[in-house]
Amino acid sequence: MTCSAAGTDTDPTMQMSVNREFEGPKLPRTLAELEEGESGIIDRLDLPEDVARRLMELGFLPGHIVVPARSAPGGEPRVYRVDGSEVALRRETASRLILRTPSKAAGKATLP
């Protein structure tokens, strides 16, 4: 006995729909993405251990609030305010400091 698709009411073509409101999972923001004056809370440092340790000694600790300040005329380095200090970082380094997502940051930030 042979089955034929001609006798069924299913269409062999596939229809695709796009939900334009769905943006997909949001990637965590980095320190380099913050605008001047916008604050962020550090979640983790995605850097080699020795570099991460040095930045943590300067105040870039998980849970601390960081605010980008001024930058050099070419845009690099940029000064960041953290833990009562101002520290200049290259964009490459700042892009490896991951910020908390808004839901994770809610109610957990304390001002220094």
Is 26 a member of any domain? no
Average pLDDT score, the chain? 80
The per-residue pLDDT for range 84-111, each reduced to its tens digit, is: 999 999 999 999 999 997 655 444 444 4
Q: Rounded to an integer, what distance in angstroms lies between the CA atom of residue 93 and that of residue 107?
A: 27
The number of folded domains in the chain is: 1
How many other CB atoms sit within 10 Å of the CB of residue 2?
Answer: 3
- Yes or no: say if 5 and 12 are a contact pair by the CB < 8 Å rule: yes
Q: Rounded to an integer, what distance in angstroms lies between the CA atom of residue 14 and that of residue 1?
A: 27
Domain containing 36 — which CATH number? 2.30.30.90
Structure tokens belonging to residue 71:
């930058």
30 closest CA partner among 19, 17, 44, 16: 44
The per-residue pLDDT for range 66-76, each reduced to its tens digit, is: 999 988 888 88
Q: Rounded to an integer, what distance in angstroms lies between the CA atom of residue 110 and that of residue 108?
A: 7
Is 94 a member of any domain? yes
Is 49 a member of any domain? yes
Q: Rounded to an integer, what distance in angstroms lies between the CA atom of residue 52 and that of residue 32?
A: 16
Is 43 a member of any domain? yes
**Which range of residues forms the domain containing residue 48?**
32-105
